[in-house]
Structure 1
Amino acid sequence: MAVFGTMPDGQEVVGVRIQAGGFSACILTYGARLQSLNLVGVGHSLVIGAPTLEPYLGPMAYYGAMVGRFANRIGNAGFSIDGTTYQTTPNFLDRHTLHGGSLGLHGHIWDIVDRSDQHVTMTIDLTDGDEGFPGHMHIETRYEIEAPSSLRITTTATTDRATLCSIANHAFFRLGDGDIRQQMLTINAAHYLPVDDELIPTGDVASVGGTAFDFRQPRRIGGHRYDHNFCLRDGRGPLRPAAVLKAPDADIALHVSTTEPGLQFYDGENTQFAVDEAGRSLPAFAGLALEAQAWPDAPNRPNFPDAILRPGEVYRSETLFEIRRSMP
């Protein structure tokens, strides 16, 4: 554990390294953020992460962070629960709410409550009315390295008032050095959510069949733009496989399993504003995000899986990122 940087208000940001065998990760208290993920034999981090704090206070605000209390977008920055309407911070296009608002989970320093060589647990409390959301929430996220090369992220949350809850990790994976559009992707989803020009779901649940969104069999990502939710199932359930990513210039593959009903695939068009672990500028499409979460704009779409957490309930989300050596 070591000081990673200092916030403008003087608070220290700490980095915690966890490892098992030849697999390791560094987690920052700022945003409970996955800053690096390293495997012996691979010459770079498998996630995009900056070597200093400053980029995370600017264009890399979401990189590797836990995002929420409602990950992804809420159309028109508003929703209703049990007949009461709430207005949240419009931090996306000045109209919609993205990743919990301007100062969502990504923008807070979390507390370390438990750690060992292989795991670290961090917590945070959000106040009632924070970014316009109801309810005081207590959130706990545990990162654990499992031999030979898996990272398990488990998040739990409770609330004292009915509120929205969908908490996701926003890592950008970078298996090789090439353009991610040349990589092979599989997503176990027969449906996806079409979006409008402002990336808000239209409300339709569309079949992937015969479209550029059909990744049910491994195929090259290609040049179509992707920032869409893939519908894994109708609600949270047991951990099960969601996606596989393979880079042609690497002998490893990423396998993603999750309890969550949705997987947001973002193609990393804007990674040219990010840097790697050595501080070097990256090109566009240098990494991609596979964010396991509730379906975006769920509170405004009655046909989407429910994303409300109520008093007395415990939200529990688990996602497993496993790196496997791929066959030649």
Structure 2
Amino acid sequence: MKIEIEKTKNGWQHYKITNDNGMRVSLLNFGGIITEILVPNRKGRFENVVLGFKNIADYEQNPNYFGAIVGRVAGRIQDATFTLNDETYSLESNEGSHHLHGGPGGFHQVIWDVATFQTADTVGVKLTHSSEDGVGGYPGNLNATVTYTLTNHNELIIDYSATTDKTTALTMTNHSYFNLSGNLAETIQNHIVTMDSDEFVELDEELIPTGKKIDVTDTPFDFRHGRKISDGIHSTYEQNLIATNGYDHYFLFNQNDDEKIRVKDQTSGRIMTVKTNQPGVVMYTSTNLDEGLELAERKSERYLGVCFETQGSPASLHHEGFPSVILKADETYEKQTVFSFKIED
């Protein structure tokens, strides 16, 4: 186990945590941004499996949210407003008339306080941030903690915790773009995704939930038995076309299995599994990723990464029957997502 800390040219702290197997996770105190995850392929070669900038300073803007902690509310809030206890709150609009990923001053844009830790078989960092009442338009003084733990089983465990002194909206996630081919050798079109989900949430032309849930049966959204991401990219199904030929949708998990998602890249042999106590996930296939950005290994292009944003559903702020994102003053927000990496047998 090893922890390395470097100071970047612009004054941030860059943490590199490594387990006894050689797996390494690198992250910044700015935005809690994961800049790199090194895991082996079937030949034992360690390569990066997330998208990250070549120049650390480029994360200061980061409109694609590479690797960042997202909050207070991950996803889109319709018309940048919501009502709690008969009081309407107006948020900052940063995607048309809507509010996306916590707004321009969201968790991805703050310096988090960091404490490192190490045990016999884990190593990690604990990040904390206090968000004052009214920041971004959200009610309540919120104290948030995000802990990244790397184990010797090649698991990256992300624990989220928060308390508030006033009922508020909260659902945090991590916005890493995964590419299991290694060092961005290929796009993610041939990645095979298996997901324990019978339903997904319909979107309108502005990618806002309509309030309708759609059965995945006989659609390109049926990942229950595994399918390539390219199936949705090349599909003429209306919901794939709305997402600019791909996926940017919330999938509701079935609550009967610990492992919610399995992702496989046949060329490298890498397999990533996702376990979580969150009720669903937004799978985003980087359909709107800016092209030509200077990433660590190459320039960016569409379909270069896939995000698995485990979270509650912002649609619950405007529609009934969706997983809640409300945190009350007497409650503690506690969520966990585990990304595990292994090689195909």
Q: Would the TM-score normalized by the shorter structure come out above 0.5?
A: yes
Q: Is the 8 A contact 1:17 1:24 kept in 2?
A: yes
Determine the structure 2 residue equivalent to 1:292. 310
Deviation of 1:162 (Å)? 0.2
> 1:78-227 maps to which residues of 2 (within 5 A)?
78-93=81-96, 95-116=97-118, 118-176=123-181, 177-222=185-230, 223=233, 224=235, 225-227=246-248
| C-alpha distance in structure 2 between counterparts of 1:43 and 1:53, whole Å | 21
Contact 1:242 1:256 in 2 (8 A): yes
Q: Which amino acid aligns with 2:204?
A: D
Distance verdict in 2 for CA 1:188–1:180, change over 3 Å? same
Paired position in structure 2 for 1:9: none
Question: Shift in Å at residue 273 of structure 1?
Answer: 4.7
Unaligned 5+ runs, structure 1: 7-11
Query: Hey, what's the Cα distance between the residues in 2 that align with 1:148 and 1:180?
Result: 25
Deviates more, 1:299-308 or 1:316-325: 299-308
> 1:267 maps to which residue?
285
Preserved contact between residue 314 and residue 324 of structure 2 (Cα < 8 Å): no
Any conservation in 1 of the 2:79–2:99 contact (CA below 8 Å)?
yes
Residue pair 1:5, 1:14 contacting (<8 A) in 2 also? no
Matched residues in 2 for 1:4 and 1:119: separation?
Answer: 19
Give distance in 2, aligned partners of 1:74 and 1:123: 24
Percent same amino acid at aligned positions?
Answer: 29
Query: What does 1:230-309 align with in structure 2 at a 5 Å threshold?
Result: 230-233=251-254, 240-271=258-289, 272-278=291-297, 280-309=298-327
TM-score (norm 1): 0.92
- Distance in 2 separating the partners of 1:268 and 1:324: 24
Could you tell me how far 1:241 is from its partner in structure 2? 1.3
> CA RMSD of the aligned region, Å?
1.7
Give the aligned length.
317
- Runs (4 or more) in structure 1 with deviation over 4 Å come to none
Matched position secondary structure for 1:55: helix
- Secondary structure in 2 matching 1:112: strand
Q: CA distance change for structure 1 residues 273 and 197 in 2, over 3 Å: closer, same or farther?
A: farther
Q: Normalising by the residue count of structure 2, what TM-score does the alignment of the two structures yield?
A: 0.88
